[in-house]
Structure 1
Amino acid sequence: MYALCDVNSMYASCEKVFDPTIRNKPVVVLTNNDGCICAACNIAKRAGIGKKFVPYFQVKQELEKAGAVIKSSNYELYADLSQRMMETCTRFAPYSHIYSIDECFLFYGKGAYKPPEGWFEHARSIRRTVWREVRLPIGVGMGLTPTLAKAANHAAKRLDGFRGVAVIETEQERKSILKQMAVSDVWGIGRRISKRLNDIGIHSALDLANARADSMRKMFSVLIADTVLELNGHARISWDDVRSPKKQIFSTRSFGQRVTEKQVLRQAIATHAAIIARKLRKQDSLAVCVMVFAHSSIHAKEPYYRKAMVCEFSAPTNDTRVITKAMCSQIDAIYAEGVRFYKCGVGALELIDTSHYQPDMFVASQDNKALMGCLDFINNKYGRNTMYLAAQGIEQKFAMRRAFLSPQYTTRLADLPKIYCNDV
């Protein structure tokens, strides 16, 4: 048996954990630089506000009229609460897999194990425990395959009568839930594929389950054929404990306000260089060549400006100092006087695995593995950017705009909640 635990409106729900005053209000969370809506709580959704990826300035008056609480993305808070939620869920099963920041799969093995209280009560126990310990509302769906667990989770959160928990254990339960699901709601069925399926008369998840797997393989792909088998209770999808290394790594971000100073642009580039170097070390990769770019806004009144430069290293590297030095050396070629820069970034374009790299005896590497290991150890233990290169700047004027940022209740000492007890 598999279980899928999924937080309801993750970002908005996290905002309500430490602020009881907004728990019964519509809450909307914005993307980087407070640009667009990225999440809305159920109260906001029922009120018809908070549609995803709509620019905030377009619906600002509508949100104010509805009394919505606006929040900037507090990634530090979301990541910490996500980790706590995952730790709580994984106590309930021998195997687990974190699928995303708000979802995790639980697997109970291939045997005939069944909890004494039954699967439904077991799922309810997971949901109640997460609420009691983390104060996040989750939906729990259980099924004989990961795809059926996803379908059960969909029922738990969106279909009437389930109230946050659904279990697909019998044939009757399977058919009942799949019949109420559109084929586009099935895990792995995107918009284009669902349209093609609709064209051949497959509209519901049950229609897809009743299709022939070999026909789906010929018409679509092996993945769709496996989905058909999964919907019929035959587990075909598995996950790896370690994700495949990325073939390219980028760090980009738009500025909170337009940048016109060369030094500020240099600091932003150095910051992005440090980020990709850290990610390279995390997945045990080396960069052969790295690109740096900066550009103005395409929507600005002044002429659009964009410049990119690529640096190739004689010896592949993942050393923060080496990559930062190379990127900052391109600042004179990228910077232009009078340009109001909107965004910049750094990207490692060609990567190789450290275990497969054969050093060149005629080219000495400038990497200092011991120093980088010390840097990562300190930052992992005491928090990101506890130590960093001076090139990144002490006061980052290029930081993204977060005008509605809530306190970082669990990751910043100054923001820890304070409780005052009055003598009776």
Structure 2
Amino acid sequence: MKGVTALSSNYELYADLSTKMMEVIGRFAPEQHIYSIDESFLSFHHCFPAIVDMREHGALLRRTVWKECRIPVCVGMGETLTLAKIANHAAKKIPGYQGVCVIDNEPERIDVLKQLDAADVWGIGRHISARLKHMGINSAYSLAQYSPQQARWDFSVEVERTVRELNGISCKGWDAARTDKKQIYSTRSVGERITDIASLQQALSKHAGIAANKACKQHSLCRVMLCFASNSPFDDQPASFRSVHYFPYPTSDSTQLVKIASEATSQLFKPDVRYYKIGVGLIELVDGRHEQLDLLNSNSGNDKLMQVFDALNDKYGTDTLFLGAQGIEQKWHMRRDMLTPQYTTKWRDVPVIKC
């Protein structure tokens, strides 16, 4: 295709830029909650002295991030998390706000809500918005006019909270801003097709380790693990295989998960299949902070080992320590032949200017 530039994903660069951006944003308020790689909440409730002009403060934040990171951002402010998200959406989509929207009075709240669809509201997914549309609730303002009690009856307590938040009543805190995932997956298309059982075992083990690390970070344990492998859907004979394992005790222990993934290889491997996509899913997750211990569980002593394992990788970099089953020479690993330079993390990629 003419005029199209294909580039490989540069995760290291994205993570470094995100860290820098979040550090700059965090200077503008006493409390910060990082919601995702490109989104952050700030709380101004305990500012001293109080900020007089919130719009100017938001504009200053936006200018500073651009000056120090060269990343364009939009700023939305409101009395609740949901209104702040609505304001941020308005700052992006409505040109008149020029990247900064502050909902700090009733006329402003009503005006913004009337300009946005109910589907634009944080927490209102595709299925809920379709039902709302069928009920004649099309705009965010119409949703705000919905009876909170009726919203709970018709949908759920989460929709009720959303309605209350749209009306300036705070119902969600930092912890509720991003709930733990109910399922965790690690999956990737390989750079070089897998045709031997050893490489398939390594790939499955690698993804089991990644999924285990994600589960540990949100303090979750899994009851069921799904391993799957397939060739390309564009092959002459598409083929997909899966294996499900049920654990007697919930776990996020990398050694256990990698062991099961390795054992599943024999069920998934077929000699005539050129595997293209490999993955592992942890499903039926439970909160590890409220785990009920069992005297008969022989694997419960690995928690401290896994904590040290993860701490060393967090400090010295991904895969500083890894299980041998994941392999060393991973020829199947995702190809990134068209990777952009990592200017901020590797000396060799720093541009050289000769005068």
- Above 0.5 in TM-score? yes
Alignment of 1:328-407 (within 5 A): 328-349=262-283, 353=288, 356-360=291-295, 364-365=298-299, 368-369=302-303, 371-407=305-341
Shift of 1:384: 0.3
The 8 Å contact of residues 317 and 367 in structure 1, kept in 2 or not, is answered as: no
Deviation of the 1:139 alpha carbon? 0.3
Q: 1:357: how far off? A: 4.3
CA contact (8 A) 2:35 2:177 kept: no
2:175 is paired with a residue whose SS is: coil
Shift of 1:115: 0.7
Question: Which letter maps to 2:268?
Answer: I
Q: How does 1:49-198 map to 2 (within 5 A)?
A: 61=1, 64=2, 67-109=3-45, 114-116=50-52, 118-198=53-133
Q: 1:29 maps to what in 2?
A: none
Report sequence identity in percent. Answer: 45
1:70 counterpart SS class: coil
Q: In 2 relative to 1, CA 412–290 (structure 1 residues): closer, same or farther, beyond 3 Å? A: farther
TM-score using structure 1 length: 0.73
**What corresponds to 2:241 in structure 1?**
306
Q: How far 1:141 moved relative to its partner?
A: 1.0
Matches within 5 A, 1:206-217: 206-217=141-152
CA contact (8 A) 1:259 1:341 kept: yes
Equivalent-residue separation in structure 2 for 1:198 and 1:280 (angstroms) = 36
8 Å CA contact retained: 1:322, 1:367: no
| SS of corresponding position for 1:345 | strand
Distance 1:234 1:316 in 2: 38
Q: 1:272·1:346 contact (CA, 8 Å) conserved in 2? A: yes
Question: Which is further off, 229-238 or 134-143?
Answer: 229-238
Residues 269-284 of structure 1 aligned to structure 2 (within 5 Å): 269-284=204-219
Paired residue secondary structure (2:321): coil
| 1:349-386 Cα shifts (integer Å, max 9, x gaps) | 4556276343435x643865555444323211121012
Q: Is the 8 A contact 1:305 1:339 kept in 2?
A: no
Matching of residues 319-330 of structure 1 within 5 Å: 319-330=253-264
State the secondary structure of the residue aligned to 1:329. Answer: helix
Task: Give, as a single letter, the amino acid of the residue that structure 2 aligns with 1:410.
Answer: T
Paired with 1:366 and 1:228, the residues of 2 have a C-alpha distance of: 43
Structure 1 CA distance for aligned equivalents of residues 147 and 134 of structure 2: 16
Q: Encode CA deviations 1:90-142: one digit per residue, 9 max, x unaligned.
A: 221122222222111112128997413x1111111111111112111000011
Deviation at 1:289, TM superposition (A): 5.2
Structure 2 residue identity aligned to 1:418: P
C-alpha displacement of 1:312: 4.2
In structure 2, distance between residues paired with 1:356 and 1:163 = 49
Paired letter, 1:109: H
Q: In 2 relative to 1, CA 140–245 (structure 1 residues): closer, same or farther, beyond 3 Å?
A: closer
Residue identity matched to 2:193: R
Whole-angstrom CA distance in 2 between matches of 1:214 and 1:385: 50
- How many Å separate the matches in 2 of 1:302 and 1:401? 24
Q: What is the CA-CA distance between 1:164 and the residue it aligns to?
A: 0.7
Q: Residue in 2 aligned with 1:47?
A: none
RMSD: 3.1
Query: What is the deviation of 1:246?
Result: 4.7
Change (3 A) 1:290 1:412: farther
Give the partner amino acid of 1:387: L
CA distance in 1, matches of 2:24, 2:37: 14
Task: Find the residue that maps to 1:347 and give its secondary structure.
Answer: strand
1:196-220: per-residue Cα shift (whole Å, max 9, x none)? 3334433322333334434444444
Higher alpha-carbon deviation: 219-228 or 77-86 = 219-228
Q: 1:360 to 1:124 in 2, by over 3 A?
A: same
Distance 1:257 1:110 in 2: 54
Aligned to 1:48: none
Distance 2:81 2:285 in 1: 32
| Pair 1:409 & 2:343 matched | yes
CA distance in 1, matches of 2:345, 2:47: 41
Distance 1:399 1:161, change over 3 A: same
Q: How many corresponding residue pairs? A: 354
SS of 1:138 mapped into structure 2: coil
AA partner of residue 93 (structure 1) = A
Report what 1:201 is aligned to.
Answer: 136
CA distance in 1 between partners of 2:169 and 2:49 (Å): 17
How has the CA–CA distance of structure 1 residues 414 and 269 changed in structure 2, closer, same or farther, with 3 Å as cutoff?
farther
**Which residue in the other structure is 1:46 paired with?**
none
AA aligned opposite 2:351: K
C-alpha separation in 2, matches of 1:245 and 1:185: 22
Distance in structure 2 (CA, Å) of the matches to 1:271 and 1:390 = 10
Residues 171 and 318 from structure 1, CA distance in 2 versus in 1: closer, same or farther, beyond 3 angstroms? closer
